[in-house]
């Protein structure tokens, strides 16, 4: 009997990586999505297609927000590094040897976490399709088939945001709303948050995301105000480098729970945040953690430190969102739910069957691999020339 699923000679031959292809796509959004440092009216992705020796194709996706403003990677850089360095490093290797592939990718290029995540997702998708199992099964098995999902309010227009939230509540799609703040002056942000809190009181919960916009002094003034409004969680109020400020703010009376995002890209970052007692929860993203295995490694450190897990997103299509759900479904506890509403904010999706949202939850797709299929017509339609 073979030691593992991937040790049989025939399966190993089937899983040899024959080719890796990357494509940049730009998909319009239904409204402007405004962050503290940028805003977008179209979402850009790199789609990675990995073809195996058996003819099976796996697909992965890497997202960014407005170019290299959220992290150092842009879709243009991702594609260039995939084509020139990452793809040649793994072509001819066995797709099922995920850790060995990860080592080769790390040797070929430093960081480039989003590009590596798209490749690794495509590998899990291809291997899962080959053996007839969902990616979650290859990661230990799912413990849930649906996850509570929030919606982000990010137009900056309070009246529009209240109307948008009302529609989501009426359709029973979302009852937790994350509000992007930090683009305006702090007093204007607090006024906007108070208006939303009053309008949705008793019917919805709010999370605030400052996207690193404040310094420690401003955060110390604003965080208690947010707590008084009933805001459940505040994401990355200060710059990523300032873990000390996060810890000091968290220790102050009246501070709501803090969510670490940009300050945690790998398990070492997570360990530093845990050691400093700087966060109550961590936002997990494939593009930050270099793939599904990286997400699990960061989550393991957080769990060991008693830090909650939150499923973060970068407005992925159903392709990228499905990959996130595959790994999120394997966590024993995901107390803060997830924010993979991305497919709903696009004017069109990239999957033949988009993800299913119902009763304030997003459902784990049931098919093999990541569970969704790339629509080739949509890929051609939105591909950047």
Q: Which CATH number characterizes residue 292's domain?
A: 3.20.20.120
Residue with tokens 């990661």: 139
Residues 45 and 155 in one domain: no
- Which of 96, 113, 137 is a domain's end point? 137
Say whether 57 is catalytic.
no
Name the maximum alpha-carbon separation found in the chain. Answer: 67
First-last CA distance in the chain: 50
Distance between CA 167 and CA 169 in Å, rounded? 5
222 and 188: one domain? yes
Tokens of 376: 């080739």
Backbone region of residue 202 per phi and psi (left: phi > 0; alpha: psi in -120 to 50; beta: other values)? left
Decide if 147 contacts 325 (C-beta within 8 A): yes
Burial 113-129, CB ≥16 within 10 A → b, else e:
bbbbbbbbbbbbbbbbb
The predicted pLDDT at position 6 comes to 47
Task: Please check whether residue 4 lies inside any domain of the structure.
Answer: no
Sheet strand arrangement including 39-52: 17-34, 39-52, 57-64
Residue 134 has a CB neighbour count (10 Å cut-off) of 25
Position 356 in a domain: yes
Say whether 45 sits in a helix, a strand or coil: strand
Q: In which domain, by residue range, is 257 found?
A: 140-382
- 109 and 156 part of one domain: no
Low-confidence spans in the chain with pLDDT less than 50:
1-4, 6
- Same domain? 147 vs 254: yes
Do 130 and 144 belong to one domain?
no
Q: How many domains are there within the chain?
A: 2
Report helix, strand or coil for 153. Answer: strand
Specify if 2 maps to a domain.
no
Give dist(CA 281, CA 260) in Å, integer: 6
**Burial readout 287-308 (b: 16 or more C-beta within 10 A, e: otherwise):** bbbbbbbbbbbbbebbeeeebb
**Which of 161, 262, 339, 378 is labelled catalytic?**
339
- Which of 93, 117, 137 corresponds to the end of one domain? 137
Q: In whole angstroms, give the CA distance from residue 86 to residue 107.
A: 9
> If you count DSSP H runs as helices and E runs as strands, how many of each does the chain have, helices first?
16, 13
Q: Which of 129, 180, 285, 378 is catalytic?
A: 180
Shared-domain flag, residues 330 and 188: yes
Q: Are residues 122 and 211 in the same domain?
A: no
Is residue 112 one of the residues assigned to a domain?
Answer: yes
If asked whether residues 103 and 171 sit together in one domain, one would say no
Same domain (yes/no): 60, 158: no
Same-domain pairing of 130 and 15:
yes
50 lies in the same domain as 147: no
Q: Cα–Cα distance between 142 and 128 in angstroms, integer?
A: 14
Please name every residue paired with 28 in a beta bridge, in sequence order, or none if there are none: 42
Radius of gyration of the chain (CA): 20
Give yes or no: residues 235 and 375 share one domain: yes
- Would 113 be classed as within a structural domain? yes
* Active-site annotation holds for 339: yes
In a domain, residue 278? The reply is yes
Task: Please provide the DSSP assignment of 217-237 as one string.
Answer: HHHHHHHHHHHHTT--EEE--
CB 28 within 8 A of CB 41: yes
Question: Residue 163 to residues 142, 179, 203: CA-CA distances in angstroms?
Answer: 36, 14, 14
**Burial of residue 198 (number of CB atoms within 10 Å: 0-12, 13-18, 19+):** exposed
Within a domain: residue 44? yes
* Integer Cα distance of 126 and 53 in angstroms: 11
Torsion of CA 293, 299, 304, 308, to 10 degrees: -170
How far is C-alpha 56 from the geometric centre of its chain's CA atoms? 26
Please give the pLDDT value at position 2: 39
Give the global pTM. 0.94
Final residue of a structural domain among 92, 117, 137: 137
**Residue 105's domain is classified under what CATH number?**
3.30.390.10
**What integer pLDDT is reported at residue 66 of this predicted model?**
74
Domain contains 17? yes
Alpha carbon distance 147, 286 (integer Å): 17
Angle 206-211-214 from CA coordinates, rounded to 5° = 100
- Number of other CB atoms surrounding residue 172 within 10 Å: 12
């Amino acid at each position: 009997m073979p030691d593992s699923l991937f040790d049989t000679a025939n399966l190993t031959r089937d899983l040899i990586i024959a080719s890796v292809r990357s494509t940049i796509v730009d998909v319009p959004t239904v409204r402007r999505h405004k962050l503290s440092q940028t805003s977008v009216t179209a979402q850009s992705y790199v789609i990675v297609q990995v073809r195996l020796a058996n003819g099976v194709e796996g697909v992965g996706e890497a997202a960014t927000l407005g170019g290299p403003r959220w992290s150092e990677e842009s879709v243009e850089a991702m594609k260039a590094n995939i084509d020139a360095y990452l793809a040649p490093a793994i072509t001819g290797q066995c797709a099922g040897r995920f850790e060995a592939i990860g080592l080769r990718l790390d040797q070929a290029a430093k960081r480039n976490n989003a590009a590596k995540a798209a490749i690794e997702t495509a590998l899990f998708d291809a291997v899962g399709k080959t053996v007839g199992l969902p990616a979650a099964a290859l990661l230990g098995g799912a413990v849930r088939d649906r996850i509570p999902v929030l919606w982000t309010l990010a137009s900056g227009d309070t009246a529009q945001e209240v109307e948008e939230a009302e529609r989501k509540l009426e359709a029973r799609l979302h009852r937790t709303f994350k509000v992007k703040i930090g683009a305006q002056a702090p007093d204007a942000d607090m006024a906007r948050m108070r208006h939303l809190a009053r309008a949705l009181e008793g019917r919805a919960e709010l999370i605030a995301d400052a996207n690193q916009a404040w310094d420690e002094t401003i955060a110390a003034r604003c965080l208690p105000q947010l707590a008084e409004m009933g805001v459940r969680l505040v994401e990355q109020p200060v710059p990523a480098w300032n873990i000390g400020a996060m810890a000091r703010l968290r220790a102050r009376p009246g501070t709501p729970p803090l969510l670490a995002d940009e300050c945690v890209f790998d398990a070492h970052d997570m360990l530093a945040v845990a050691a400093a007692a700087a966060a109550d929860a961590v936002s997990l993203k494939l593009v930050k953690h270099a793939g599904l295995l990286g997400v699990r490694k960061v989550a393991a450190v957080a769990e060991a430190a008693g830090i909650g897990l939150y499923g973060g997103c970068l407005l992925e299509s159903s392709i990228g969102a499905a990959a996130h759900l595959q790994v999120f479904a394997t966590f024993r506890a995901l107390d803060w739910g997830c924010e993979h509403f991305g497919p709903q904010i696009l004017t069109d999706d990239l999957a033949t069957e988009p993800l299913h949202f119902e009763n304030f939850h997003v459902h784990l797709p049931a098919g093999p691999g990541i569970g969704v299929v790339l629509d080739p017509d949509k890929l051609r339609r939105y591909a950047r020339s």
